[in-house]
Amino acid sequence: MNLNSSIKYEEYKWKNLPIGGGGYVTGICIHPLEPDLIYIRTDVGGCYRWDKHEAGWIPLMDCFGLEERNFYGIDGIALDRLRPDIVYAACGKYSKHKLSTYYPVLQQGECCDVLKSEDRGRTWRRTNLNKDFEGNLDLRWFGECIAVDPNNSSIVYCGTRYDGLWRSYEAAENDSWKRVDGIQGDSEGKGVRSILFDINSEKTGISQIIYISICGDGIYRSDDAGLFWTKLEGSSINTARMTLGDNGILYVTSDNGVYMYNGSWVDVSPKKGMAYCAIDVDKMNCKHLVCAENYNGFWCPVYNSEDGGISWTSINENVITHNDVPWWPKEYFSAATSSIVIDPQDGKKVWLTDWYGVWKTEDINAVPCHFYSHEKGHEEMVSFTMACPTEGANILTAIAEMMETDILT
């Protein structure tokens, strides 16, 4: 008897069942020259690129199979200012270091690496740095640990959790990564968490001034394109993020405030003694700054300054939120805020990322200030089980990536 003769086949097209965000968006990068070329990174869902025509996010790492699942944790992302099609991602949810009984060490065949794409994330290839990243562990909300020299596409720097600072002079090709002298590793897995170039320090086609932050140590600066490094005395040992104005003034956030550096450190915190992470300076107006407090809670205060941090305005009291996820409660706005970026083409537009997704306002100065969530395509929920009842809801799912245990229908 031919069993197959009794089976009827129907063509079925699999599609994504949208739930709506829910996972930690740990960073956002906007290309400085090409409008609307925007990437976000997440702790367990890979990275995404903005699709302005669909007003949603394109997942860029669904191509990875089970054996490459560790690549879904993104510890840093970098764009090439001179070549918009190029994007780098420092990938690894977990490392071979067993930090606790909760987080697993890597299994046989799993790995971390810097991946490079030359087609805006449609395809990726490994660069064989093969150092530990921990995109789903502590400090994943800190600044980008990888950066391309804005004046030279061939020069790429990458900070690691345990093995110091690495550099390639060949755009991460041909196994060209070399360790940078003078920057020590870190046995606790904090390491080099942020890298920042001064675009206006170009000499012979190379940026001369570079800043790096080493968690637990401080901020270091090089004035000779990375040959020698000097620690900036008085810098915070727990710098979260850095941003640099066109006037050369450095702003940093830390676990105890916001600080400005222009030869010496000045505390310019909106509220003294608070923890801050997200910060950015307007690329067209170096007096315009935005920042946000950071704590494990909701509605972290967002601040706006028009005078270089001398004074700040809290926008939270005048924010009206509009979300595109029906089940999101109001308190989800600005939750454990990780990054905030001013659109380099329009200083009024500001993007914000947090525990659950991505928000944008068209005018940070408006009163009231309207923030809209943009979750289409950002599907990062971890679904453990599903059931289809015979009546009532079409489907029930039990998921993670939420503050509390929830059942969504």
Does the pLDDT value for residue 66 go beyond 90? no
Domain made up of 23-382: CATH architecture: 7 Propeller (2.130)
Is the confidence at residue 405, as pLDDT, over 50?
Answer: no
Tokens found for residue 103? 């987080």
- Minimum mean pLDDT range among 35-39, 107-111, 144-148, 248-252: 107-111
Q: Which of 42-56, 177-191, 392-406 has the highest mean pLDDT?
A: 42-56
- The residue-averaged pLDDT of 360-382 equals 95
Query: For position 104, what pLDDT does the model report?
Result: 67
Going by C-alpha positions, the residue among 345, 349, 375, 344 that lies closest to residue 364 is 349
Q: What is the mean pLDDT of residues 192-217?
A: 97
Domain extents in the chain: 23-382, 383-409
User: 403: which 2 tokens?
Assistant: 């503050």
Residue 102 pLDDT level (bands cut at 50, 70, 90)? low
What type of residue sits at position 138?
Answer: D
**Burial per residue of 320-357, b for 16 or more beta-carbon CB atoms within 10 angstroms, e otherwise:** ebebebeebeeebbbbbbbbbbbbbeebebbbbbbbbb
pLDDT of res. 398 = 85
Residue 47: what pLDDT?
97
User: Residue 8 has what pLDDT?
Assistant: 67
CB-count burial class (<10 Å; 0-12, 13-18, 19+) for 34: middle
